[in-house]
């Protein structure tokens, strides 16, 4: 009889207590929209959020169903105590008043402002050293990667890790599957959406070493792993392919890519191997027209010119991409002018030929101004040898004809 009475009391009290719990939880102390200031770890109401939502000085994320961070700072201390106490009562009633353990989720008791998703694939920890000599350890294989440069996006897909890419820049247009992932902005500091990056819940962000340093520091503070990359030579590209292969578990894919690119590089080198110094043509590579810029010997475009046995008329500069004067180009009188597609449109020969003083340049009189695919030649990535082949075809067409005559 006593047992039946206790059961009846429990059946009556359980709904009442449950109603009380939900009332406590769903009764915030303010009706203002709330933002989380991740750098200062405090609650910011709409009235003072203006200075904290955007920019490198602070990262604020609006709380919404599509973009929410689990953080106990959303609750006041009193609400937390009441919620835990009510939850304990409910558990005791349902379990017959026996001893219980806390059911507060682990991520809600964490002090970190951001908890990356747990990767499914487990393995022994892997430690790497990135482009800026930072040591980063991965306890598991990253499953949600955001790439902040087109070259790193292409590299991930090329080694077989494309399925892990969940975010990329507006300029990440290759391969076709890269266009299917979320956009996080232009990739430059001012045009990168921190809010979108955070909403995608990445467990790794690939940063450009010379562009995203402030973002990297921010990611470190809020618990997102980030790696600085950005090759400037073909060998550095190979190194970073191996590095990403190690991080993502695609070591074989990385070695396969390196093997294919090495074989192709050697084949292209063979095409120009017999050219004597007297046969090598002088080349002006125009990076940009206003202001007029070229590629110096320290750039990867400068490396492509050397690989193709082309004499860079600005081989004597120390800068990777120096601004130059039109008069100097006229004075150095290149045999060939190479330029990339700019802003998705072809550079017109007539526009180049009518520049003041350029009419007598050999490249103009011989009509040897050639357009190279801008994406392939401007990215130190898996397609850079496509650009080298285009350059050799343009500057040394006789090697292409000779190759075609072979059986």
Q: Where in the chain are the domains? A: 2-108, 122-261, 274-405
E-strand ranges in 251-373 read 282-289, 292-294, 311-312, 336-340, 369-372
Distance separating alpha carbons of residues 264 and 104, to the nearest angstrom: 57
Average pLDDT over residues 107-133: 63
CA 368 to chain centre: 37
CA count, 13 A, side-chain hemisphere, 260:
14
Q: What is the pTM of this model?
A: 0.69
Q: Per the structure block, which two tokens stand in for 351?
A: 């526009």
Average pLDDT over residues 261-281: 96
Q: Per the structure block, which two tokens stand in for 344?
A: 């998705």
- 51's CB contacts (< 8 A; 6+ apart) are 57, 58
Query: To the nearest whole percent, how much of the chain has pLDDT over 90?
Result: 57
Please determine whether the domains at 122-261 and 274-405 fall in the same fold group of CATH. Answer: yes
Residue 283 pLDDT > 50:
yes
Percentages helix, strand, coil for the chain (3-state, rounded to 5) are 45, 15, 40
Residue 323 pLDDT > 50:
yes
Average pLDDT over residues 54-83: 34
Please give the mean pLDDT across all residues of the chain.
76
Write the CATH number of the domain with boundaries 274-405: 3.40.50.1980
CATH 3.40.50.1980 fits 122-261, yes or no: yes
| Nearest Cα residue to 263 out of 175, 94, 385 | 385
Average pLDDT over residues 115-135: 76
> Which one has a higher pLDDT value, 348 or 52?
348
Distance separating alpha carbons of residues 111 and 35, to the nearest angstrom: 17
Residue 398 pLDDT > 70:
yes
Residue 41 pLDDT > 70:
no
């Amino acid at each position: 009889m006593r047992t039946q009475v206790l059961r009846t009391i429990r059946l009556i009290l359980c709904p009442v207590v449950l109603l009380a719990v939900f009332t406590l939880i769903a009764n915030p102390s303010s009706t203002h929209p709330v933002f989380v200031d991740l750098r200062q770890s405090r609650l910011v109401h709409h009235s003072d959020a203006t200075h904290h939502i955007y920019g490198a000085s602070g990262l604020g994320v609006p709380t919404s169903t599509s973009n929410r961070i689990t953080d106990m700072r959303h609750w006041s201390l009193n609400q937390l105590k009441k919620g835990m106490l009510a939850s304990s009562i409910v558990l005791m009633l349902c379990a017959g008043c026996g001893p219980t353990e806390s059911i507060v989720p682990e991520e809600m008791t964490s002090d970190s402002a951001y908890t990356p998703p747990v990767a499914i694939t487990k393995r022994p920890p892997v430690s790497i050293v990135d482009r800026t000599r930072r040591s980063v350890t991965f306890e598991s294989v990253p499953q949600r990667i955001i790439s902040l440069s087109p070259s790193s996006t292409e590299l991930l897909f090329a080694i077989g890790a494309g399925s892990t890419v969940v975010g990329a820049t507006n300029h990440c247009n290759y391969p076709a599957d890269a266009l299917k992932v979320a956009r996080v902005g232009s990739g430059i500091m001012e045009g990168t959406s921190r809010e979108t990056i955070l909403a995608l819940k990445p467990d790794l962000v690939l940063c450009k070493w010379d562009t995203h340093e402030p973002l990297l520091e921010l990611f470190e503070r809020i618990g997102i792993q980030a790696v600085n990359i950005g090759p400037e030579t073909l060998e550095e590209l190979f190194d970073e392919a191996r590095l990403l292969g190690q991080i993502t578990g695609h070591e074989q894919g990385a070695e396969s890519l390196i093997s294919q690119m090495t074989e192709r590089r050697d084949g292209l080198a063979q095409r120009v191997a017999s050219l004597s110094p007297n046969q090598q043509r002088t080349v002006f590579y125009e990076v940009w027209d206003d202001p007029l810029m070229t590629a110096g010997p320290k750039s990867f475009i400068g490396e492509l010119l050397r690989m193709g046995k082309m004499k860079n008329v600005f081989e004597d500069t120390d800068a990777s991409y120096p601004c130059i004067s039109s008069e100097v180009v006229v004075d150095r009188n290149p045999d060939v002018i190479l330029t990339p597609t700019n802003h998705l449109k072809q550079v017109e020969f007539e526009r180049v030929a009518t520049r003041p003083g350029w009419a007598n340049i050999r490249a103009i009189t011989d009509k040897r101004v050639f357009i190279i695919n801008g994406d392939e030649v401007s990215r130190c990535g898996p397609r850079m040898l496509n650009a080298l082949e285009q350059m050799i075809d343009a500057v040394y067409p006789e090697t292409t004809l000779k190759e075609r005559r072979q059986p």
